[in-house]
Structure 1
Amino acid sequence: MSSLLFVPANDERKFAKASSLPCSGIVIDLEDAIHAQHKQVARASLSEIIPKYRNSKQKLYVRINGLHTPFWQDDLVEVVKIQPEGIIVPKAERDLHLIDECLVGLETSQGLKENHIKLMLILETAKALVDMEQILSSCARIDSATIGMADLSADLGTSWKDIVQQSPPLFIGLREQLALVSRKLGLNAPWDSVYMQFTDVEGLRRDAIISKRLGFQGKHVIHPSQIDIVNSVYRVSKEEYEEAKTILTKIEGHGAVQMEGLLIDEPVVKRARQIIERYEEQEVTA
């Protein structure tokens, strides 16, 4: 996984195009991209539009409206029908049991096993970030998380540009914490937040490099032009793959060896195996 592209739920043309793009997955957005008066029509169109263009090589997610709105329950009813890989919950805090309880009944009605549908949380308030571990451990459905920097900046009374685009970027420590907490709780690696200025190519690349170094699995994107940049940062290169294979060859039959001045022991071998696995996985889905 490298890039997840957000697409408005009421725009069939954009979803059709997204299904042909090299993103790892698509996020159908029922939240910010849809005006309140259009939400009912947008969610009702999911069962009609999604099957037309669904691509088996791409993961499908749906971002529902938050629990602070009157829309989230109706969202879940329609979303479960299309059985996405996951549901993205915005402005997630400690009331996730409400979604869990609702999904149990909906999964049963669709003949799905309990906890079939996973949750990806967006932590985007000061409260959520302070309570990060408690929130991420509050529900068995939680699969991964991301930090919503745009909403977080608004909550703090600053701007996304000041937090992310200016140098040095702020709150790198929050991303570090998310990576550590996710690992501690046995969740999948986190996703990095969208880079709002989609014409700032080098800014996007720098931001993606930071999250990759922290062990994130990929980045959310809001424009097709961002996909190749994010993929280029996150993809395992042929050179990295060949080096990983060489490491496994060198270590065979030895406890520890050196290669070009680098000590090769169990942690390095473990990482080499991860690189090989990811490379082979990305080649299959390419």
Structure 2
Amino acid sequence: MTASNRPRRSALYMPASNARALEKAKALDCDVVIIDLEDAVAPDAKQAARTAAAEAVRGGGYGHRELVIRVNRLDTPWGIADVQEAAEAEPDAILLPKVESAAEVVQLEALMEGVRPNARTAIWCMIETPRGFLKLKDIAFASHRLGCLVMGFADLVKDLRAVETVDRLPLHYAMSRAVMTARAANIDVLDGMYPIIKDEEGLVRQCRQAREFGFDGKTLIHPSQIAPCNAAFAPSEEEVAQARRIIEAFETAREEGKGLAVLDGQMIEALHADAARRVLAMAR
């Protein structure tokens, strides 16, 4: 798959076992709703949650929001059944947690194809472990269905035996590697969640940092985090205005038979014009 011009600024986890939460998500201003069958659902509620997730997707009513179902790992007692029922419902994507190899992606793709061949549902992969980060390249190129990488930095910090600092210094290598790999594979990449719900200042700081690294958006655990996240990842008025100027300068140069343009003393090439068009598409 290729990177989408569809905004993925805010991706909100909602437990599939909570009918009220799933209904509430229809009116929230998030770009993505991740209906969770994994961490947010107790073992004895997994089967009922699986059915509820599929029914929520089929029922619709979520408007512009992308619907993603996070299944349990395929080596758990619930994973394969999760995938089969999710694939039948055809959400926008199925999110596989704790991916550590390309083989897991290939297995997921085969399961999905077995239920609904050539369906539109994409594959999203969560990268949460040292092994997963070391295998990022293989994972990112494992399937044409892969559309997005989702970071699970909370688990990674624990596995690294690192200390979670304000600037997330111990994660800079993983963050940069994730963005680099996503761009090489031409797919999107989302930053991990911020766990302190009432700390908006900390959330905004992380969102800004993630955007500076090149992330397309961030996963969230509470509706109150949506507005700050959307604001941080949306193109600003200044960025939109500059994008229009770049496109105008490049198109004018092309009409004059030139391959390059000059704007404010800087050279403008096709790659700059393409990036500017993406800014405008995201703004729309």
Say if 1:15 and 1:53, in contact at 8 Å, map to a contact too: no
1:223 corresponds to which residue? 222
Further displaced range: 230-239 or 56-65 = 230-239
One of 34, 45, 51 as aligned partner of 1:38: 45
Quote how far apart the aligned CAs of 1:242 are: 2.0
Q: Which amino acid aligns with 1:256?
A: A
Gaps of 5+ in 1: 281-286
Q: Which amino acid aligns with 1:134?
A: D
1:257 corresponds to which residue? 262
1:182 corresponds to which residue? 182
Say if 1:189 and 1:215, in contact at 8 Å, map to a contact too: no
Is 1:151 the counterpart of 2:158 in the alignment?
A: no
Output the CA distance in 2 between the equivalents of 1:247 and 1:98. 44
Quote how far apart the aligned CAs of 1:168 are: 5.0
Gaps of 5+ in 2: 1-6, 254-259
Quote how far apart the aligned CAs of 1:106 are: 0.6
What SS class does the counterpart of residue 45 from structure 1 fall into?
Answer: helix
2:80 corresponds to which residue? 73
Output the CA distance in 1 between the equivalents of 2:24 and 2:175. 31
Aligned residues: 268
Q: Which amino acid aligns with 1:195?
A: Y
What SS class does the counterpart of residue 190 from structure 1 fall into?
Answer: strand
1:284 corresponds to which residue? none
Say if 2:16 and 2:35, in contact at 8 Å, map to a contact too: yes
Quote how far apart the aligned CAs of 1:241 are: 1.5
Compared CA separation, residues 42 and 229, structure 1 to 2 (3 A):
same
Output the CA distance in 2 between the equivalents of 1:32 and 1:42. 12
One of 273, 279, 283 as aligned partner of 2:277: 273
Output the CA distance in 2 between the equivalents of 1:100 and 1:135. 12
Root-mean-square deviation (Å): 1.9
Within a 5 Å distance, the mapping from 1:79-228 to structure 2 comes to 79-94=86-101, 95-96=103-104, 97-108=106-117, 113=118, 116-158=120-162, 162-163=163-164, 165-186=165-186, 188-228=187-227
What SS class does the counterpart of residue 170 from structure 2 fall into?
Answer: coil
Quote how far apart the aligned CAs of 1:52 are: 4.1
What SS class does the counterpart of residue 101 from structure 1 fall into?
Answer: helix
Say if 1:25 and 1:58, in contact at 8 Å, map to a contact too: yes
Say if 1:16 and 1:53, in contact at 8 Å, map to a contact too: no
What SS class does the counterpart of residue 123 from structure 2 fall into?
Answer: strand
TM superposition score normalised by structure 2: 0.87
Q: Which has the higher contact order (CA 8 A, sep 6+)?
A: 2
Q: Percent identity?
A: 28
Compared CA separation, residues 168 and 132, structure 1 to 2 (3 A):
closer
Is 1:232 the counterpart of 2:231 in the alignment?
A: yes
Deviation digits for residues 115-151 of structure 1, max 9, x if unmatched?
x321111111111111211222223322111221112
One of 3, 9, 13 as aligned partner of 1:6: 13
Deviation digits for residues 177-220 of structure 1, max 9, x if unmatched?
1111122223x121111111122212111111122122221111
Q: Which amino acid aligns with 1:66?
A: R
1:29 corresponds to which residue? 36
Deviation digits for residues 44-96 of structure 1, max 9, x if unmatched?
22343444453131100000001231110110122122210101110102231
